[in-house]
A and B are shown apart, each in its own frame.
Chain A
Amino acid sequence: MGEIIKVGMADLKIGRAPDTLTTLGLGSCIGLTLYDPAAKIGGLVHYMLPDSTKLKNNTNIAKFGDTGIRELLRLILEAGATKRKLVAKIAGGASMFEMSGLSSIGSVGERNAEAAKQLLKELQIPLIAEDTGLNYGRTVELNCENGDFLIKSVGRGSKVI
């Protein structure tokens, strides 16, 4: 049995087989994983907002998609993963309440997911699975042994993507 490594909100961690990386209760945030199946090294970032350049106060790099994903990539390569073997999966980006669009955060879940897709394209890392949007929370686990991404939701059971 490997270690279960917990990733908080605005946080990122790297693990290797047989570890499991987990984050609890993703709402509008995104949980993005990078995984190298040959080296069996994985990484998980739990970011809150899509873009650090839109804000003045942007010191916490794991809080934003752009800086968080780049930092996760830097760390996983440093840990021994190979860039061209990396694959990505994402989950989260829900709209927890059906808002009218008055609030500035109404569509943040969707924008968070979009930010991941764009940056992955730019970094040339294939996005091989996603479970995003809708209106419920997700707890996720990345198994560093095989890259399985387990998603658990309240009243909806669990699935592996």
Chain B
Amino acid sequence: MENFTLDHVNEMYMDVLREIGNIGAGNAMTSLASMINEKVDMHVPKVELMEASKLGSAICPEDEIIVGIFLEVTHDISGSMMFLMRMDSAHYLVDRLMGTATGKDDPFNEMELSALKEIGNIIAASYLSALSSMTNMTIAPSVPYIAVDMAAAILSVPAIQFGQYGNNALLIETEFGDEQMINGYFILMPEENSYAKILSSLGITL
């Protein structure tokens, strides 16, 4: 079987990937809502296929500071995933969780960073559990790693990961919230042979 890359996805693959994104993000938002004790609304996620080298400016200007949470994924499939937020959303979530009032441009302290890691952890785990139950595969996340830095620098990680196999990358944008809408972005990065496993477990032959 020819190795699957995002360079030749057809509409059907896109639909499947969109659906995984949808259910995964829905799951993640439900966990988040219970965590911050707020009834959250959610918009249908947007799934965007783009050139990997354009990822750096896909969320915001390349030198804007964002929060990136990174986890490795192992077991039946291997790879990694990221959850990304702009600073205003990250501050809002931290404040809700910890009862603080941090300024939009304040740097995060150790406690706040660890709260953000936990948010990322819960969001990623619920996303992966959706993928896992859809595909009947065991998918386990590692501990979360966090970086607060320029968007292009953080996004160079998935850009390189996708860039190893092809020229395209897949970005899932979610919007959720109540009083204030929050934007979060998911990037799932399976290793080359794991795409085929995901798709064939869903009954799609390449």
| Residue in chain A with minimal CB distance to B146 | A97
Q: Name the distance in Å between B44's Cβ and chain A's nearest Cβ.
A: 29
CA distance A155 to B153 in the complex (A): 14
Q: Contact residue range for chain B?
A: 35 or more
The answer to whether A103 and B150 have CB atoms under 8 Å apart is: no
| Residue in chain B with minimal CB distance to A25 | B152
Does residue B160 face the partner (Cβ distance < 8 Å to A)?
Answer: yes
- Of A78-86, A117-125, A130-138, A142-150, the stretch lying at the interface with chain B is A130-138
The answer to whether B78 and A102 have CB atoms under 8 Å apart is: yes
B165: chain A residues within 8 A (beta carbon): 55, 57
Q: Contact residue range for chain A?
A: 35 or more
Kindly identify which residue among A49, A59, A102, A105 contacts B157, using a CB–CB cutoff of 8 Å. Answer: A105
Tell whether A99 pairs with B166 under 8 Å between CB atoms, given A24-B62, A27-B154: no
Tell whether A25 pairs with B142 under 8 Å between CB atoms, given A103-B72, A105-B164, A136-B153: no
Kindly identify which residue among B5, B53, B145 contacts A99, using a CB–CB cutoff of 8 Å. Answer: B145
Kindly identify which residue among A25, A55, A57, A104 contacts B156, using a CB–CB cutoff of 8 Å. Answer: A25
The answer to whether B7 and A60 have CB atoms under 8 Å apart is: no
Report the number of A-B residue pairs with Cβ-Cβ less than 8 Å.
Answer: 120
Does residue A1 face the partner (Cβ distance < 8 Å to B)?
Answer: no
Does residue A154 face the partner (Cβ distance < 8 Å to B)?
Answer: yes
The answer to whether B156 and A29 have CB atoms under 8 Å apart is: yes
The answer to whether A100 and B142 have CB atoms under 8 Å apart is: yes
Does residue A34 face the partner (Cβ distance < 8 Å to B)?
Answer: no
CA distance A28 to B53 in the complex (A): 13
Interface residues of B in 113-161 (CB under 8 A from A): 142, 145-157, 159-161
In the complex, besides A11-B53, A27-B157, A48-B156, 16 extra interface pairs with C-beta distance below 8 angstroms are A9-B53, A25-B149, A25-B156, A26-B152, A26-B153, A27-B152, A27-B155, A28-B156, A63-B163, A96-B153, A97-B68, A97-B145, A104-B164, A105-B157, A137-B150, A155-B107
A-B contact pairs, 26 of them (CB 8 A): A8-B54, A9-B54, A9-B156, A24-B152, A25-B56, A26-B153, A26-B156, A27-B150, A28-B157, A48-B53, A48-B159, A49-B163, A55-B165, A57-B166, A96-B68, A96-B147, A96-B156, A97-B157, A100-B72, A100-B142, A102-B78, A103-B80, A104-B191, A105-B160, A108-B160, A154-B148
- Interface positions of B (Cβ within 8 A of A): 5, 7, 52-56, 61-63, 65, 68, 70, 72, 74, 78-80, 107, 142, 145-157, 159-161, 163-167, 191
